[in-house]
Amino acid sequence: MTRVAIVTGGTRGIGEAVSLALKEAGIVVAANYAGNDERAQAFAERTGIKAYKWDVADYDAVQAGVAQVVEDLGPVDIVVNNAGITRDGTLLKMTYQMWKEVVDTNLGGCFNMAKAVFAGMRDRKWGRIVNIGSINGQAGQYGQVNYAAAKSGIHGFTKALAHEGARFGVTVNAIAPGYIDTDMVAAVPADVLEKIVAKIPVGRLGQAHEIARGVAFLCSDEAAFVTGSTLSINGGQHMY
């Protein structure tokens, strides 16, 4: 049986690596994106993976977008909630809008996507939901109360939904990446990044494909006994 997956934020960075890893595993992938049409089109032409545009923070847009994927590709068996944004600043400088945008996208997007697919997964007695958290949701980070709160919330969301899906063959897990060599990390000032890498025991940034391997495993039949877990892939930077 061919499975169908949606990867949010799936046309660049970690999301692109996940989309490719799932495709290589024989899964039909729909890559969601929010804004960059030119980059998404280039991704689709390069990979043969169809790209779909909607904002995961918009509940109605998610419902419509998932419905379109189902119409085009079939029922959705796998969702990887990877879409995420940053609006960094200390609490004293952070506006309500900066807080709301990050929480609505990073955490609200997980709810919106799960809401759109969970009933179908339960009825078909098989499903995989993988939520991309963050080391900064586990350990905190200066200037990121919005991002850390949203990513920390993902880990609680994952455990609670895992309870609801377990007896229906629907697993819900999270991956907490450390600092990965993506556009988001590339935006960090060089002197700050140097200090971050110095704190990573393996001595380097992670690669997107290293996260994607973990996602591919959690989406597989072989991971049927893994649910409610968080897999930390961070080079040893945060251990607990």
Catalytic site positions: 147
Could you say which DSSP state residue 36 is in?
Answer: -
Coil, strand or helix: which one is 186? Answer: helix
Give the Cα separation of 237 and 198 in Å (integer).
10
Nearest to 117 by CA among 176, 50, 32: 32
Nearest to 78 by CA among 216, 232, 175, 210: 216
Angle between helices 13-24 and 37-47 (to 10 degrees): 20
The token duo for 209 is 């494909």
Dihedral over alpha carbons 130, 162, 133, 54 (to 10 degrees): 50
DSSP of 63-96, one letter per residue?
HHHHHHHHHHH-S--EEEE---------TTT--H
Coil, strand or helix: which one is 131? Answer: strand
Q: State how far the alpha carbon of 123 is from the alpha carbons of 75, 78, 152, 160, in Å.
A: 11, 14, 29, 19
The token duo for 17 is 């690596």
